[in-house]
Amino acid sequence: MGAVAPRSAWSPNFDAQKEGTGCPMCADGGNRNDFGARFRHGRWTDAYLGRRPVRPGYAYVVWTGPHVAEPTELDPHEAAGFWAEVAIAASAIEARYRPRKMNWMSLGNGVPHLHVHLVPRHDDDPDAGGPVEAEAFDAASVTPLDDAVLESEVAALRRLVDGGSSSTTPSSPH
Ligand SMILES: [Zn+2]
């Protein structure tokens, strides 16, 4: 077998960032307006709607506790909280965008701070039946949502994750 020509490389700072040194998500909590807009602030996580939709309804959920790169670094209590909050965000995305399948992608190859990409896969998905192509995560290849759309979608998602808690009427289980 001949050597495979590399298409990309690990960041020179990758190992340091994986340990938490110079981690951009620890610095800003993932809260950068050019990446997305937050629709939920939880006990363990913040959830954002992505400005550059990998697929329509693309969101991501960022661990907001002390730096970890992998889910295996969480203790069982933290892990339960983390995944439960990812599910809250995913449920809101499912309710709003009605995908045929939701993909939960814990990657961290670019920024090794624990986060999960929520990628709705729709009926007309160009890669239906298989994984999302890597190029979908290339910011330059995806047309960004404009501010008005991002804000209105985030407002709709907030109503879903709040479950009506912003009103005086308690939400009922269903
Ligand atoms: Zn970090």
pLDDT mean across residues, the chain = 90
CA atoms within 13 A of residue 163's CA, in its CB half-sphere = 8
Ligand 1 mean position, distance from CA 76 (Å): 19
At the top level of CATH, the class of 19-163 is alpha beta
Q: What is the pLDDT of residues 79-116, one digit of tens each?
A: 999 999 999 999 999 999 999 999 999 999 999 999 99
In the prediction, which pLDDT does 145 show?
95
Ligand 1 mean position, distance from CA 5 (Å): 31
Using 50, 70 and 90 to split pLDDT, how confident is the model at 2? low
Written as one letter, the residue type at 61 is V
Q: What is the pLDDT of residues 123-164, one digit of tens each?
A: 999 999 999 988 888 878 889 999 999 999 999 999 999 764
Tell which wins on pLDDT, 174 or 113.
113
In the prediction, which pLDDT does 171 show?
40
DSSP conformational letter for 44: S
| H or E segment and range at residue 96 | helix 76-97
How many whole angstroms separate alpha carbon 148 and alpha carbon 85?
26
Q: How far, CA to CA in Å, does 104 sit from each of 8, 30, 141, 146?
A: 23, 18, 21, 25
How many whole angstroms separate alpha carbon 51 and alpha carbon 148?
11
In the prediction, which pLDDT does 167 show?
41
Give me the DSSP letters along 155-169.
HHHHHHHHTTTTSSS
In the prediction, which pLDDT does 154 show?
97
Instruction: Give the domain ranges of the chain.
Output: 19-163
Averaged over 40-51, what is the pLDDT?
96
In the prediction, which pLDDT does 136 show?
85
Ligand 1 mean position, distance from CA 78 (Å): 16
| H or E segment and range at residue 153 | helix 147-162
Q: In what order do the strands lie in the sheet with 101-105?
A: 36-41, 45-50, 59-63, 115-121, 101-105
Q: In the predicted model, is pLDDT for residue 12 greater than 70?
A: yes
Averaged over 18-34, what is the pLDDT?
86
In the prediction, which pLDDT does 173 show?
42
Ligand 1 mean position, distance from CA 106 (Å): 14
**Contact assessment for residue 50 and residue 79, using Cβ atoms and an 8 Å cutoff:** no
Greatest pairwise CA separation for the chain in angstroms: 67
Ligand 1 mean position, distance from CA 125 (Å): 32
Q: In the predicted model, is pLDDT for residue 170 greater than 50?
A: no
In the prediction, which pLDDT does 139 show?
78
The three-state secondary structure class of 23 is coil
